[in-house]
Each structure stands twice: as C-alpha cells, then as structure tokens.
Structure 1
Amino acid sequence: MKLAEAITIEELRLMAQSMYDELVKAVVDVEEGLLVVDAPMHVDEEQFLLERGSLQENLWGINLYPDDYGTDDFVEFDSMINIRPAQNNRSRGVDDEALQVRIRDIVDGVVNG
C-alpha cells in the first residue's frame, strides 16, 4: 500500500500486474487531497487513512485503469465503501457529479503520464 504524492502510469501498471492485471484499487480523501493505492481491497486503504486521521465521509473508493490513462475510463467509481445512504450515495459508485470532479482532480494532480 502506498500513500501517493506523485505516481507514474508505469508504477500503476506494475501494481496492476501484481494485483488484478488491469486495475489498481485506490481510495481518495477528498478533503485532504490524499490518494492511497496498491492494496487488495478498498477497505484496507480506507482503514489506513482513517488511522491517519481522515474522516469516513471524505473517503471514496475508485479503481484506476493504467491502460486507459488520458481517457474518462481511467477512473472507475466502484467500491463497496461508497455505499452511504446517510450521504445520499446508495450505490457502489459516486452519485454526486461534483464529487466525481473533485476525485478526478485529486487523481490528476497525483498521477503523471
């Protein structure tokens, strides 16, 4: 698991090969602008950030597809940790489009081609 301040697509490709062959699981703290990658499950990354002081309501699970870098398919909003009826998010995705933009902005600021 890695708290990524800067990461390359090549690093993500290597992580994908060792885990799921095409994707890297990640969790974003939208308040702190943090991105954690490279764990078997989103909940592991979520727990890591919670232990560092992040708040649950700010953590969102995503998948990164290194081969799709530069396209809308690079970031997939799909994780069990995203199911939050209390925050009006009743799916595994991220239902709020403005929140999706914030997440993509954080990812774009960390991931370099």
Structure 2
Amino acid sequence: MKLIKEPLSKQEILLLKSNYSNYLKLTVDVNQEILVAGCELHADGEAILLKNGGQQKNIWGGGIDLENKIIDTMAVLNLRPNLNNDSMEILDPEIRERFIKMVKKVFAELWS
C-alpha cells in the first residue's frame, strides 16, 4: 500500500502497476485530498487515512484501471446508510466528483 499526497510520475505509476497489477483499489480522503493505493481491502486504506487525521465521513473507496484509464467509485466501504449512501457506489454527486478529481490529479500522467 502507498499513501499518496502528490501527483505521481510515470515511473511511480509503472512501479505501482508492476507491484499490484492493472487495477488498483483506492481509498480516498476527499477532504484532505490524499489517497491510499494498492490496498487488498479498502478498509486497510481507510485505517491508514484515519491514522493520518482523516474522518470516516470523508473517506471513500473505488479503483482505477491503469491500462484503460477507467476510474470506478464502487467499494463495500461506501455502504454508509448513516450518510444516505446505501450502495457500494458513491451516490452523492459532489463526493463522487471530488473522488474522481483527486484520482485524476494523482494519476494525471496517465492522460498526458
């Protein structure tokens, strides 16, 4: 697992790909704009983000297909009835957009 606060270089993305495969599970703190990549479970990334000052209401899961450049916002971690999210998908459009924006920022080299 890797805690990421800044955009990754092409070499760093290639290293993640070689260590974890084409698909990376991501856990993102949409408030602090940091993420954890390469978790076996999104909850593992959540634990790291909580230790780094995150709040559970701001931590969401998804993933990225590095080969096809597809971002998804699906994770068991996202099941949060207390936040009106009764789906594995991030239902709140604002939170979903913040998640995607953060992933695109960190993995910007994929699109360059």
Could you tell me the TM-score, scaled by structure 1's length?
Answer: 0.84
Structure 1 pair 25–8 and aligned structure 2 pair: CA distance change class (3 A): farther
- Please state how far the C-alpha of 1:15 moved relative to its aligned partner: 2.9
Alignment of 1:61-76 (within 5 A): 61-69=61-69, 74-76=70-72
Q: Does 1:101 align with 2:102?
A: no
Percent same amino acid among aligned pairs?
30
Q: What letter matches 2:8 in structure 1?
A: I
The RMSD of aligned alpha carbons is: 1.7
Q: How does 1:16-55 map to 2 (within 5 A)?
A: 16-19=17-20, 21-55=21-55
Poorly superposed stretches of 4+, deviation over 2 Å: 8-19
Q: Does 1:88 align with 2:84?
A: yes
Are the equivalent residues in 2 in contact too, given 1:25–1:39 (CA < 8 A)? yes
TM (norm. structure 2) is 0.85
User: Unaligned 5+ residue runs, structure 2?
Assistant: none
Looking at structure 1, the residues matched to 64 and 41 of structure 2 have their Cα atoms a distance apart, in angstroms, of: 13
